[in-house]
Amino acid sequence: MKASIITIGDEILIGQIVDTNSVSIARHLNSAGIVVRERLSIGDDRRQIIQAVEWALKNYEVTILTGGLGPTKDDITKKTLAELFQCDMRYDQQVAEHVEKMLTARGIEFNDLNRSQAMVPTACTVLFNAHGTAPGMWFERNGHVVVSLPGVPYEMEHLMQDKVMPMLKSHFSLRQIVHRTMITAGLPESMLAKRIEKWENALPPYLKLAYLPNPGAVRLRLSAYEVEGESVAREIDRQFEALRKIIPHNVIGFETASMQELVHGLLTKRHLTLATAESCTGGSIAARFTALPGASAYFRCGVVAYSNDAKVDILGVHADDIAQYGAVSEQVARQMAEGARRVAGADYAIATTGIAGPTGGTAEKPVGTVWIAVATPERTVAQVRQCGTDRGQVIDRASAFAISLLRDCLNGE
Amino acid sequence: MKASIITIGDEILIGQIVDTNSVSIARHLNSAGIVVRERLSIGDDRRQIIQAVEWALKNYEVTILTGGLGPTKDDITKKTLAELFQCDMRYDQQVAEHVEKMLTARGIEFNDLNRSQAMVPTACTVLFNAHGTAPGMWFERNGHVVVSLPGVPYEMEHLMQDKVMPMLKSHFSLRQIVHRTMITAGLPESMLAKRIEKWENALPPYLKLAYLPNPGAVRLRLSAYEVEGESVAREIDRQFEALRKIIPHNVIGFETASMQELVHGLLTKRHLTLATAESCTGGSIAARFTALPGASAYFRCGVVAYSNDAKVDILGVHADDIAQYGAVSEQVARQMAEGARRVAGADYAIATTGIAGPTGGTAEKPVGTVWIAVATPERTVAQVRQCGTDRGQVIDRASAFAISLLRDCLNGE
């Protein structure tokens, strides 16, 4: 079963927003065994929408569209689909009542623009949107399905989960997609590839290997599309077990878990607690952990100690060490980690202090220089890392390196 | 001048990564007057790559590809492009020396996989990649350009900036694209649309209006494609000035500035300082501000007070108020904001405390309930907001609402 995802909206094409809807839709389809073959973004343009949907209908059994369903003039997806499926529009009483109720609750008058949201193409099955004013729509032609969803992420998400996925599962007889990812560390991509070359060459043809390099880690993903899931999953397990014997010291985890998810799992399982003391990463490390459900079980507190005063007053860093070694130094990183651990009464603490840029770099400490430290019940470990030149990149990489150092400490490395 | 962006990699199609490269490339092209008509993501698949590039070459003057240039077997973009442009491969001595130098500096041996990175199609102009091992490639056919770049974001970014954009500007005679965005608050999309209907209908036909609803704000974007930039920019200014007279109390800013960028501007200009005290948003608010260059001028410190102890010990929240009213309450939000302001010695402080979910909700305080507070030199303001049901959504919306409340306070509203 092959699928295509089409997101509609000029804001995607001019780079005003990041298209996260496609990611979420791709995950839903994948997990049900539907292979996403392409993702396309186009403008709010009648000709482009028709061209793209016609192509998708011809090539893929399933097409999911998002966007262009708002009440204003720039949104034209609905009427364009009515044209494409050669049908009229009808007024849907249930949708109208729902929209009026939603708006009234928020103190907004129900005007003719909102009323227009209850107009739907006669050719579609309405997918009732409990969380918004634009309904989803399900069209069929020659057994192929086209679904149109609102672009508001959580409305789209609810409709995918509650309506589209169950309907797809009952409409099609689906096979399975199996992905499994092994996370390795300590070998750069090209050396890793040489080391495992023989194993790679002997993989069965239905298993596809991908290398996904990240700061501090290379992920190896094995994928099999449209297969009998259980036996293939067992084969992947066997292959990874064989691989582990080739690089025993480089395997650090499995699945698509991010580094923080791995650490989250370790802390939760061992009933340990965590605190953070961030300077250049500015709250990113805390935000990565607290985004995970269940973080409150171990995350005690984080301090974003941007100013030197905050480092001294809250974390107890020695002001004379800041004066002597600079805020970006091993001494300060260590004292920040130890201070956070003490103040929070936590088992472990992570600290970062560095130069995120674009200004503030020197010849000795250029932009991207970051000291990271982890304080444990036994000791404090510190490292300096070069994290790139772009502010966003420095924050991301420093966060990743710091969490990775914590993982090493938790594993006694 | 029309363009298409093609990102190659199975990890995009299965939803394993978010495609941020397209966003950045779209911005570069837009700012130079090149209209991005479509963005496509496909797998590491020979047939798909050929089909997509042939389509793009036929329809668009410029096509930018990213991905599939790594040294491992799963990456096939380079050899597929050589096939498409019907040419052989050659060994590029300069690239080889650069790759060897980069690897040696990192203590990595230069093996035959790395050596293969110096093989390039004879039909292309090599775009030297100072920041990585895979060079960019520039192809031409009938005056149309196809550029292939590595998928590693900062390598792609450097090549776009240093090589591709200057080359496109000298290769084509480009016109201009003008976008300007007005940020409004206080009117939901449908009411805003009714209120400005007459103005919208009278817009000159070359100006395209888009509504972009966000939590707490609706953005109105006027765009003109491939025009004489200066006179059109003046016309957009005139139109927005007329619009401001229609909704004088709802215009809160211009451009694609995010709410934190607006606040960042206000704080910087007025030499005011900021602190944060976050519970449910877990560091997200601090991270949003500290991601902006120059944040260190006003951002003093942030406390991610996840545990009740941290709220009491660091921020001075009264333990008996937590016991009486609960951690998610107006009293606690106010004391967190006032505590952060006091501890940091800052002019303003933001606080959030809420239930991010998925667990922890009650009938009285369901998941998504968030108290936000802002402490100013004169007073403390608190509000409760319903921020949705999904953990990520709650964190995002609560952060946006809190920063928006700070903006209101800074503007004396």
Domains within chain A, CATH numbers bracketed: 2-171 (3.40.980.10), 176-254 (3.30.70.2860), 259-410 (3.90.950.20)
Q: What is the DSSP letter of A161?
A: I
Q: Residue A300 phi/psi, 5° resolution?
A: -85, -60
Find out whether B332 and B341 touch, Cβ atoms under 8 Å: no
Place of tokens 């949705």: B388
* Residue B108 touches partner A, C-beta closer than 8 Å: yes
The answer to whether A54 contacts chain B (CB < 8 Å) is no
Percent with pLDDT over 70 in chain A:
98
Chain B nearest-CA distance from A14, in A, is 5
**What average pLDDT does range A106-118 have in this prediction?**
85
Q: What is the pLDDT of residue B257?
A: 64
Instruction: Pick the closest to residue B208 from A107, A14, A63 (CA basis).
Output: A14
Is residue A271 less than 8 Å (CB to CB) from chain B? no
Element housing B25 (H / E):
helix B21-31
Please give the helix or strand (H or E) that residue B340 lies within, else none. helix B330-344
Residue A324: which residues within 8 A CB-CB, separation 6 or more? A331
Euclidean distance between CA atoms B164 and B39, whole angstroms: 18
Q: Residue type at B365?
A: K
Q: Please check whether residue A176 is in contact with residue A229, taking contact to mean a CB–CB distance below 8 angstroms.
A: yes
Instruction: Tell me the pLDDT band of B256, cut-offs 50, 70 and 90.
Output: low
**Mean pLDDT value of segment A126-133:** 91
Contacts of A359-363 with CB under 8 Å at 24 or more apart are A359/B293, A360/B296
Chain A's closest residue to B207, CA to CA, is A74
pTM above 0.80, yes or no: no
Average pLDDT of the residues in A95-106:
87
Q: Is the peptide bond before A358 cis (omega within 30 degrees of 0)?
A: yes
Residues of chain B contacting residue A296, judged by C-beta atoms under 8 Å apart: 306-307, 360
Specify the DSSP element, H or E, that contains A370: strand A369-375
Please write the tens of the pLDDT for every residue from A60-71: 999 999 999 988
Contact A337, A350 (CB under 8 A): yes
Please state, in angstroms and rounded to a whole number, the distance separating the CA atoms of residues B303 and B279: 8
A144 in reach of chain B (CB within 8 A): no
- Chain A / chain B CB contacts < 8 angstroms: 329
Structure tokens belonging to residue B58: 């036929």
Q: For residue A378, what pLDDT is reported?
A: 95
Segment A147-205, tens digit of pLDDT: 999 998 889 999 999 999 999 999 998 888 888 889 898 888 888 999 999 999 999 99
State the pLDDT at residue A304: 97
Q: Hey, is the C-beta of A30 within 8 angstroms of any chain B C-beta? A: yes
Distances (CA, A) of A105 to A99, A284, B195, B277: 10, 36, 21, 31
Count of CB atoms within 10 A of residue B359's CB?
Answer: 11
Q: Contact A68/A100 with Cβ under 8 angstroms? A: no
B285 with A283: Cβ contact below 8 A: yes
Q: Could you tell me the sign of the dihedral formed by the alpha carbons of A323, A325, A327, A332, in that order?
A: negative
The kind and range of the H/E element at A141 are strand A136-141
Chain A residues touching B211 at Cβ < 8 A: 70, 72, 74-75
More confident residue, A330 or B178: A330
B326-341 pLDDT, tens per residue? 999 999 999 999 999 9
The pLDDT value recorded for residue A4 is 98
Interface of A with B in 225-254 (CB under 8 A): none
With beta carbons under 8 A apart, name residues in chain B contacting A211: 70, 72, 74-75
DSSP state letter for B135: P
Task: Say yes or no for a CB contact (<8 Å) between B72 and A343.
Answer: no
Select from A23, A31, A42, A72 the residue whose CB has the most chain B CBs within 10 Å, as the one to mutate to test that interface. Answer: A72
Distance CA B238, CA A201 (A): 65
pLDDT in tens, B373-395: 999 999 999 999 888 777 888 89
Reported as a single tens digit per residue, the pLDDT across A352-400 is: 999 998 888 998 999 999 999 999 999 999 999 888 777 888 898 899 8
Q: Are A259 and A212 a contacting pair, CB within 8 Å?
A: no
Complex ipTM, two decimals? 0.74
Strand order in the sheet with A144-149: A125-127, A136-141, A144-149, A62-66, A2-8, A35-42, B35-42, B2-8, B62-66, B144-149, B136-141, B125-127
Q: Which residue has the tokens 């650490």?
A: A263
Q: Is residue A330 very low, low, confident or very high in pLDDT (cuts 50, 70, 90)?
A: very high
